[in-house]
Amino acid sequence: MLNENKTGPALLGEKFPEMHAQTTMGPINLPIDSEGKWMVLFSHPADFTPVCTTEFVAFARRYKDFANINTMLVGLSVDQVFSHIKWVEWIKTTLHVDILFPIIADDLGHASQRLGLIHPGKGNNPVRAVFIVDPHGIIRLIMYYPQEIGRQTDEILRALKALQAADKHKVALPENWPANELIGAKAINLPPKDIDTANSRLAQNEGFDWWFTTKEIE
């Protein structure tokens, strides 16, 4: 069941749409069940497909990394729950990897349609998408991938850590933080809001110009 008060796909900065669904670990009620935590919800085109299998193994092997930064993982596809269960069983038996996060069985496609995951040129299977949702249920990042290209799980983890650091320190973060080619692990100060602050910015901070100053963060 989804919130029908809004039309169109979910967007950055919006509340994650209400969703009541069956998963491999029982019913889930989002975003209520993720309240107080970060959530990474990721869709996959289909169970028992090679690219999706490699992705699930990567997420599973980094499960503790996500859990250690207060983040829950949730998978989703239009397969029925018995297919998810059998696929999880196959991954454990054949690849010796435990899938410790729930997978939503969106067999009617309602959630996928609401989240904008069904590409008209790709049949009824959802595209590969990632939604990072903050502890208040707000969508903070969306990534889309075509069906033929697998995701880079470490980049999702990096982006999540960057969002958490940006919120904590009230800063912006550079390309590939914390390993940026120009400023390394430093953060970027938010833009000044008046002329006096702009004129004093370089005197009080390191940087290249008043609009590009940096600071150390934990």
Task: Encode the chain (218 residues) as per-residue pLDDT tens digits.
Answer: 444 445 457 899 999 999 999 999 999 999 999 999 999 999 999 999 999 999 999 999 999 999 999 999 999 999 999 999 999 999 999 999 999 999 999 998 889 988 988 877 767 788 899 999 999 999 999 999 988 899 999 999 999 999 999 999 999 999 999 999 999 999 999 999 999 999 999 999 999 999 999 999 97
Q: Which segments of the chain are extended strands (E)?
A: 19-23, 26-30, 38-43, 71-77, 103-105, 128-133, 139-145, 187-188, 206-209, 212-215
Tell whether domain 19-151 is in CATH 3.30.300.30: no
CATH (residue range 170-218): 3.30.1020.10
Alpha helices in 1-140 (DSSP H): 50-61, 63-67, 81-95, 110-114
Domain range list for the chain: 19-151, 170-218
131 classed as catalytic: no
Please report the pLDDT score of residue 109 as a whole number: 87
Q: Do domains 19-151 and 170-218 have the same CATH topology?
A: no
19, 21, 28, 52: the active-site residue: 52
In degrees, rounded to 5, the angle at the alpha carbon of residue 49 between the alpha carbons of residues 47 and 55 is: 85
CB 100 within 8 A of CB 71: no
